[in-house]
Structure 1
Amino acid sequence: MPAATRIDDELAGFIQGATSIIAATRNAEHRPALVRAQGCRVDPGGCRLAVLVVACQAVELLEDIRDNRRVAVVFTRPSTHRSVQVKGEDARILAASAQDLALAARYRDAMVAELALIGVPEARVRALLAAVGELVAIEFSPSSAFVQTPGPDAGRALEMAP
């Protein structure tokens, strides 16, 4: 995949919507670390994206990113099972902005509505997504993306816009 790739508008809308977001990486011994994220933002033009995580829940993941700068993030819409994985090789950790904190609050509300479609009570969703602790942003350029929806297309590389 070319070095200069970007998230197109359709994919940006999907990953910034009501999706379950799991960020993962690995250490030098290839031991994985993962954490549930609290929202996603895609910069205008789609060349950078960031996922928000609670720092104290993501200690190993953040250490691994500092060491190797690699991240893989899976976005899944629970009501449809549509899943996409986006990878990056230049991840960096930033303080969450005031806009990021507002985004995380909107994300939690959107997930309450999304999971209500499949019968998950609001209190359970709010408990699952309780962001107790400092939020940080993991920002990266997308280097590749893959279909992860169960079925015959799973694993297929997504075309990324140049």
Structure 2
Amino acid sequence: MSVAPESLIDAAQAAFLQGGVSISAASCGARPFPGVCRVLACSVAPDRRRLTLMVARPCARELLEDIAYSGRVAAVFSQPSTNRTIQIKGDHAHAGVPDASMLEAVRVHADAFVEEVRPIGFPAPLVRSLLHCADDDVVAIEFTPTAAYDQSPGPRAGAPLKAGA
């Protein structure tokens, strides 16, 4: 019997990933450049061993093609007010249909992101238009994190993330 590896992220880090952060995802494929897309929300599994990114299909065509090709994805989570940033790389990525809880996560994330950036000068209508997507166009990308990094500006930038740090 095999034992599942420990999660790379702790509960506080999982809350950060699901909070009012700016999220982008990228993957590599057959083209010589990556597919990149803004992410609408992130959902972390209760055991923190799987992440699901919700993206808008119209903006994510190349990203989805690359994930189908390589099964790999990298996501960057950054809090605009502090520049705290975490990068998660993963394997076994695949796209699927979001369930109701994932669609709700998109709405919750939009509200949290508006509250994050409004105080630093971004009008709510602009932010909502950036994150708007019809439910039928949301795609869920599930993957297993294999590496995590602190990408916040400063002396620890690029250092492996440690759960509890």
> Please, what TM-score do these two structures have when normalized by structure 2?
0.91
Q: Structure 2: which 5+ runs fail to align?
A: none
SS in 2 for 1:45: coil
The residue type equivalent to 2:86 in the other structure is V
CA contact (8 A) 2:21 2:77 kept: yes
Identity of counterpart residues, as a percentage?
42
1:131 corresponding residue in structure 2: 133
| C-alpha displacement of 1:29 | 4.0
1:154 corresponding residue in structure 2: 157
| C-alpha displacement of 1:85 | 0.2
SS in 2 for 1:150: coil
Matched residues, number: 159
Q: Distance in 2 between matches of 1:160 and 1:67?
A: 30
The residue type equivalent to 2:72 in the other structure is R
| C-alpha displacement of 1:127 | 1.4
2:23 corresponding residue in structure 1: 21
CA contact (8 A) 1:5 1:143 kept: no
> Please, what TM-score do these two structures have when normalized by structure 1?
0.93
Let me know the Cα RMSD of the aligned residues.
1.5
**In the alignment, does 2:120 pair up with 1:84?**
no
The residue type equivalent to 1:4 in the other structure is P
| C-alpha displacement of 1:160 | 4.8
SS in 2 for 1:159: coil
| C-alpha displacement of 1:108 | 0.6
CA contact (8 A) 2:86 2:149 kept: yes
Q: Distance in 2 between matches of 1:29 and 1:134?
A: 24
| C-alpha displacement of 1:4 | 2.0
Q: Deviations over 1:27-68 (max 9, x none)?
A: 234411110011111011111111100112101110110111
1:63 corresponding residue in structure 2: 65
Q: Distance in 2 between matches of 1:5 and 1:73?
A: 20
The residue type equivalent to 1:137 in the other structure is A
Off by >6 Å, runs of 4+ in structure 1: none
Q: Distance in 1 between matches of 2:18 and 2:99?
A: 17
Q: Distance in 2 between matches of 1:52 and 1:158?
A: 23
Q: Structure 1: which 5+ runs fail to align?
A: none
